[in-house]
Structure 1
Amino acid sequence: MTTMRKNEPTRVLVTGGAGEMGAYACRILAGAEEIAQVVVADRDGEKAGKLVADIGAKATALQLDISDAEALASALADVDIVLNCAGPFYRFGREVLSAAIAAGTDYLDICDDWEPTLEMLELDEAAREAGVTAVIGMGASPGTSNLLAVLAMDECDTVEKVYTSWRASAAHFPKATEGKEFADATAAIEHWVHNCTEPIKFWRDGGLVDGYGLEEMTLTYPGVGTDPVWVCGHPEPLTLPRVRPEVRESLNVMSARRGLMEAITAIALRVRAGELDVRQASEALLRSENVAGRGAGPSPSLPSNIFAIAEGTKGGRRIRVGAQAIVQPEGNMGEMTGIPLAVAALMSARGQVAKPGVHGPEGAIDPKLFFQELAQYAEEPPSADTPVYEVVSELID
């Protein structure tokens, strides 16, 4: 089994390393003094080679198909940490994690599917026996969202409800290429449509329940106000109750302009009725009108960034707590996902993430330290005394 010592230069393998998410992580790791080697592993070896040529001498390229179990095992044998950025996780999440456990290699990924999250949590005992620390869902949401939830929950003596939220926006839709009236559906759009249309599991009444996404509810952020939000199928609701077992309700929700959510809700009903598959539904969404701008309704008043809310008690009184990062990297989905993953990997390399077993981010990562580290990759890094996150609270009548 690979044994990693604190402050020892670390070797990291990044599967899907030349992809949109993995490339950002590779760039950061290749420039960090804690890292001795970054293996950019990708099914597209040429693309991996181009990235390596751009990021420096610490990086090496490896053409790797993670469905080849023998090749994957060989790649894992010579590294201390693997960052798994190669989806889809419903096919490869458990397989890569199992291989990492067999190799004694610590593991982090950006899985944002609830199904493989449950499958990978089943490997907790095997990871603990192997001395392997595995952190699943360490991107934006899940990832930073989970750690914001910890900051909010830590203000409560007991927690009844915890919500993680992110902004859904048609501004993130792909643009049509020249000569086309509509954009082609991307994997990211299909993934979102899948989460909104297929059965999901979430945490309600103190346990896992089956349901569908897009349930509308209202959410209040202290000092900001109340807005409608819509339930999404995501990993956060499945892992957060593991650190606060008293939680009765844990949901991941989307804030958005109403027009966008009405469009996806109408399309979801057609998927559930068997009229459309996910691919067709994604294309229909991209052709929908009034999903962006003023035509979609007013912009939500809730925070535009990822945030978390906890409701519970403190000192015998009911309390609501909100948490959000106020200094962090901004930009595209690759940056917002790959950079948090890299930050967590660097913390692992320093010995700051060392808890054998399979965990959501909240189970193994110190959120206060994480957000201090994450803020250093903002466009304008903070000064020493600048707050990098906020935690605000109010009493509930």
Structure 2
Amino acid sequence: MNVVVIGGAGRVGARVVSELAKVSDANIIIADRNKPRDSSFEFVELDLADGESLRRAVRGAQVVVNTSGPFDRWGTVVLDAAIECGVDYIDVCDDPAPTIELLKRDEAARNAGVRAVVGLGISPGMSNLLAVVAARHLDSIDLLTTFWGRPGDGKDLEEATEFANSMASAFEGGRAAFTHLIAQAAADIPVWRNGAAAYEPAWRAAYRVTTSDGETGLYRVIGHPEPVTLPHTVASRDCINIGTIEEGADRLLLPYLDQVGAGELSEAEALGAIAADLRAHPEKLVTERVGNPIKAFVGVAATGDKGGAQSGIVVLPGGPVDGSMSLETARPAVVGVLVLSDVPVGVHSPETAFDPDKYLTAYSDTYWDGAAPYVVDVAGPKAVERAE
């Protein structure tokens, strides 16, 4: 099987390449504008703005894995080329707007006999499938939340200073992931409220997730594809995605997000200003501990009705998801390549592409030594609540 990894020399793409090489005998071709550090794989120089260059890279493959952002610029370009060339497609798009555009290619993909899965990373991706599992444990859902990040309340000044300096260095690096975070957190974002699509400001509303044994975390609403796609498969009154850097840093961001939203700062300028604030005022990250933090980096929490009473569910991955974000984003896409034959033709979000038990079992067999594919915690009505 020939697998072309678009952006295979980048952070996530390189992880897709190395992980796929470990778990399969696929012939892997790296297509990128830059040469990869690992010269053991076939390399094709690629200019995404040149249609013929892109078609040349894709033609003859069985699967193309697209890791090249920004997806609002290149997502549909690569998918269109894959459909034209009759090649199956997977990407790791985590932006709601291009997700909507990618899904509009469904009819063209079906006509071409192409299987395409959009947003097959850790969140979206694994989170979507955990949400389907959560829905099985409630008769009706009032609030469905996918969440990500490591809660970090309970820091004293020494701990806050260490974390502030670490975060400042990351923000000063100007990585695309942080620029994307600021852009999404400063905008009005798509959510699902009262049974319909809606928009609301990101990052202002906070929600607390709590498990049955008291592990807890505070997260803020942010733009992600899950609330765009999940409500069409999982019926819920409200559906949102929530995330956290950590509690103190989440609050510190708020005034800078206002300035980005008002056009007073660019995303890059905001990153620099936030980094300076973190270094100058680490005390802003001092917080009281509410409970032991949720250990899982990603999960789903839902509240609703079960047997005529209010209940709530927290669903977590069955194994560790605690590596770098590039690694944890790459691995679900790699498993997707392995089980892509299960997917019907057409363009799918993860929850319509895969049966969660089959996919997550395949994931566990690949990365968790066959552990349980997920953990379901009957956490009660306080599984997820709006925080004042």
Calculate the TM-score normalised by the size of structure 2: 0.86
Distance verdict in 2 for CA 1:74–1:329, change over 3 Å: same
Partner of 2:169: 175
2:16 to 16, 25, 28: 25
- Stretch of structure 1 that moved more, 283-292 or 255-264: 283-292
Q: Give the whole-Å Cα distance in 1 for the aligned partners of 2:233 and 2:146.
A: 15
1:275 to 264, 268, 271: 264
Residues 310-344 of structure 1: CA distance to partner in whole angstroms, max 9, x if unpaired?
22333343321111114135321111111111111
Contact kept in structure 2, 1:224 and 1:302, CA below 8 Å: no
Task: Look up the equivalent residue of 2:344 and give its one-letter code.
Answer: K
Task: Look up the equivalent residue of 1:391 and give its one-letter code.
Answer: V
Does 1:389 pair with 2:378?
A: no
Residues 277-317 of structure 1: CA distance to partner in whole angstroms, max 9, x if unpaired?
11111111122238879934246745232010122333343
Partner of 2:187: 198
Q: Give the whole-Å Cα distance in 2 for the aligned partners of 1:216 and 1:210.
A: 13
Residues 63-105 of structure 1: CA distance to partner in whole angstroms, max 9, x if unpaired?
1112211111122220111100011101001111111112221
Residues 214-258 of structure 1: CA distance to partner in whole angstroms, max 9, x if unpaired?
1223333330446532100111111111212x3221100014533
Q: Residues 16-55 of structure 1 correspond to what in structure 2 (within 5 A)?
A: 16-33=7-24, 35=26, 37-44=27-34, 46-47=35-36, 50-53=37-40
Aligned-pair Cα RMSD in Å: 2.5
Contact kept in structure 2, 1:185 and 1:286, CA below 8 Å: no
Partner of 1:87: 69
Shift, 1:275, TM fit? 1.9
Distance verdict in 2 for CA 1:19–1:376, change over 3 Å: farther
Partner of 2:144: 162
Shift, 1:200, TM fit? 1.6
Q: Residues 1-397 of structure 1 correspond to what in structure 2 (within 5 A)?
A: 10-33=1-24, 35=26, 37-44=27-34, 46-47=35-36, 50-53=37-40, 59-167=41-149, 173=167, 175=169, 183-225=172-214, 227-244=217-234, 246-289=235-278, 295-298=285-288, 301-304=292-295, 305-348=297-340, 351-352=341-342, 354-376=343-365, 378=367, 381-382=368-369, 384=370, 386-396=371-381
Q: Percent identity?
A: 33
Contact kept in structure 2, 1:174 and 1:185, CA below 8 Å: no
Contact kept in structure 1, 2:169 and 2:275, CA below 8 Å: no
Distance verdict in 2 for CA 1:89–1:299, change over 3 Å: farther
- Stretch of structure 1 that moved more, 247-256 or 261-270: 247-256
Structure 2 residue ranges without an equivalent (≥5):
153-162, 383-388
Contact kept in structure 2, 1:259 and 1:295, CA below 8 Å: yes
Residues 182-207 of structure 1: CA distance to partner in whole angstroms, max 9, x if unpaired?
83322121111111112221111212
Calculate the TM-score normalised by the size of structure 1: 0.84
Q: Give the whole-Å Cα distance in 1 for the aligned partners of 2:284 and 2:260.
A: 27
- Stretch of structure 1 that moved more, 192-201 or 289-298: 289-298
Partner of 1:6: none
Shift, 1:139, TM fit? 0.8
Distance verdict in 2 for CA 1:31–1:233, change over 3 Å: same
Distance verdict in 2 for CA 1:287–1:323, change over 3 Å: same
